[in-house]
Amino acid sequence: MKQIKAASLITAIKTPFNAKGDIDFNTYDQLVAHQIQAGVDGIVVGGTTGEGHLLTWEEHLILIAHSVHKYGKNLLIVGNTGSNNTREAIKATQHGFATGMDAALQINPYYGRSSFAGVSAHFNKVLDIGPAFIYNVPGRTGQDLTPDLIEPLAQHENFIGVKECAGNDRIAYYEERGIACWSGNDDESAVGRHQHGSHGVISVTSNIVPGLMRKLMDEPNETLNQSLQPLMNWLFCEPNPIAINTTLMMTGAVSPIFRMPYKALTTAQRAEGLAMLSKLSQDELVGDELNLMADDDFQYSC
């Protein structure tokens, strides 16, 4: 638990696909190698950015097992084994820990949702299995996990902390009470870390500029923080992970293959991102090139 709580930069790693629409493990390994080289502390496997919701459970668990086997000695491996279905979350979490993952990322039941009593019972079931981050992202789930729900859960021995998307005031509130928090919003993460006491960030942006995000978490750097704000905001111009997928394709880091229902950013959106990315040194970016790309360069699989 100490090692997990010491992790200040955890990347929600992208899952790349090959021409057949299957997971491209060779490219995945190259992406993870960039993260290790940049000094990232851990990765979330199959999170929203990793399109866990578009993977079968078999694919999802194989990817977690692959990550543990290859990178468990170098990185903390956090498996996104949450679900809106308690039975599925229990089964996936059990399998994830059986493969050796260090921790789970657990989300509250979404869409169908539940009462706070039901949500609490759901989390206690999965916390009983092993160490877990609780993920609060009301913009996606439609339900804010407020302190009156989180504070009792924090007493569980397997509760690590919260990946919190409700802002730095919430993070400060928790940290003042000894509840560990990681920012779920890249654009707020530096302020959260250095002014509000967060433990760090679980980041989308570190997929493309891991070294810069490492610097941002290690020490206050307002100049760097401000320079990255436009890029961080652009990466969420459409629902995540559309923009980070498109970006990694524009840099040649991954093949230009989407799993539907995701589609590439428009030409105008790509041009906006290209202008921002062009201001960065090539060695700061994951990928060996930088191209606008044409619409028909992208492929789509089901």
Query: Which value, in Å, is the radius of gyration of the alpha carbons in the chain?
Result: 18
- Name residues whose C-beta falls within 8 Å of residue 273's C-beta, 6 or more positions apart in sequence: 231, 234, 243, 246, 247, 250, 265
The torsion angles phi and psi of 276, rounded to 5 degrees, stand at -70, -45
**Neighbour count for residue 22 (Cβ, 10 Å):** 12
Instruction: Determine the Cα–Cα distance for residues 46 and 55; give it in Å rounded to an integer.
Output: 8
Looking at this protein, which amino acid is placed at residue 54?
L
Verify whether residue 163 is a known catalytic residue: yes
Q: Which of 163, 173, 174, 215 is catalytic?
A: 163
Q: Check 14, 28, 71, 135 and give the catalytic one.
A: 135
Q: Is 73 a catalytic residue?
A: no
Which spans in 84-167 are helix H? 86-99, 116-127, 138-141, 147-153
Residue that the structure tokens 């995540």 belong to: 240
Distance, in Å, from the CA atom of 235 to the CA atom of 233, rounded to the nearest integer, reads 5
Of 150, 240, 67, the residue nearest 80 (C-alpha): 67
Do 257 and 232 form a contact (C-beta atoms < 8 A)?
no
Q: Which residue has tokens 């799993």?
A: 259
C-alpha distances (whole Å) from 164 to each of 3, 174, 219, 222, 226 are 20, 10, 21, 22, 21
Phi, psi of 197 (to 5 degrees): 80, 20
Q: Give me the active site residues, please.
A: 135, 163
